Structure 1
């Protein structure tokens, strides 16, 4: 049923383009939005989780930047251990790590299953690295206090 609805919409769009009622760009946008929908076999369920490629790239670039910042702050905290600056450096690092991981989880929630798997394989290990570095600093604190 869903496939026939999509086909009907697409054919109407093509006909409208031929009669100059819609531009080709509008049809492409409609095609993209239709491709971003997924169906289950048991019932027609629309899945609005889809981020188009340009937006996804922007979000991933932003996450990569935040990852770099958080990693830098973790390095600063590690290097300032046993100094008066450590507490503030650690607080800044923990905040940056938490913000980065939260944004990462929010991004994953917006994606289709396929997009999610691609993002996890692309930057998932970086996020795990942040968690591991943060744990290492916290474990070091526990061992020495």
Structure 2
């Protein structure tokens, strides 16, 4: 079974003045810590609410320091049950995000169709990125083969 796991991270950020600045820095900082090893983890702003249900910004700022709630989402493949998927996600992410508290928010079992759709989307994005611009298959005809250059 394959699962989509969402983990909440509390990322500290220093020397910030606004919540937007804190969020941008936290996402950048988290991306640097996860890449290149876990570049397949999606980083999103977290959602916070007050006890009365009022929506709050994902960053809490005090004395030019912020604590930012981020949601890290990843797919875990070939697991026995949802608990197994959550442990794997926490371990993989937690190894790279030292001293950042993590909490599993949700674990969702993926259907076979969803997994195929994700892989097709990734394949289409990579092929689109490669064919963007004025480059075409004619480039192969313009450039001589390596063997021809050696001769």
Same-fold status (TM-score > 0.5)? no
Q: TM-score, normalization: structure 1? A: 0.21
* Structure (1/2) with the larger helix percentage: 1
* Structure (1/2) with the larger strand percentage: 2
Larger radius of gyration: 1
